[in-house]
Amino acid sequence: MDEARVIINLKEGIIELQGPVDFVRHCLDMYRPTIKGLQVLPQDAAVRPEKTKSLPRRKKVAAATKAGKGKRASCIGAIRSDLEAGFFDKPRSTAEIKQRLSEAGLTFTENGVRANLRRLSLAGLLDTARKGRSVRYQRRAQS
81 and 31 together in one domain: no
The answer to whether residue 128 sits within a structural domain is yes
The count of other CB atoms within 10 Å of the CB of residue 118 is 14
Window from 52-56, 114-118, 125-129, 133-137 with minimum mean pLDDT:
52-56
Amino acid at 74: S
% of the chain at pLDDT higher than 70: 74
33 and 70 together in one domain: no
Please enumerate in sequence order all residues whose Cβ is within 8 A of that of 140, keeping only pairs 6 or more positions apart, or say none. Answer: 124, 125, 126, 127
* CB hemisphere CA count around 36 (13 angstroms): 6
The pTM score is: 0.48
Between CA 127 and CA 65, with CA 99 as vertex, the angle to 5 degrees is 105
Total number of domains in the chain: 2
77 and 132 together in one domain: yes
Chain CA centroid to CA 85, Å? 35
86 and 127 together in one domain: yes
70 and 32 together in one domain: no
78 and 135 together in one domain: yes
E strand spans, the chain: 3-8, 15-20, 92-93, 126-131, 134-139
80 and 116 together in one domain: yes
Range with the largest mean pLDDT of 12-21, 39-48, 98-107: 98-107
Q: Are 131 and 91 a contacting pair, CB within 8 Å? A: no
Separation between Cα atoms, residue 100 and residue 106, nearest integer Å: 9
74 and 121 together in one domain: yes
The answer to whether residue 51 sits within a structural domain is no
Mean pLDDT of the chain: 78
83 and 33 together in one domain: no
Q: How confident is the model over 46-59, as a mean pLDDT? A: 65
Range of 79's domain? Answer: 65-139
**CB-count exposure of residue 45 (10 Å: 0-12, 13-18, 19+):** exposed
pLDDT for position 68: 47
Provide φ and ψ at 135, rounded to 5°: -125, 135
The answer to whether residue 24 sits within a structural domain is yes
The answer to whether residue 45 sits within a structural domain is no
The answer to whether residue 16 sits within a structural domain is yes
Amino acid at 118: R
pLDDT for position 73: 62
83 and 128 together in one domain: yes
The answer to whether residue 120 sits within a structural domain is yes
DSSP letter for 93, please. E
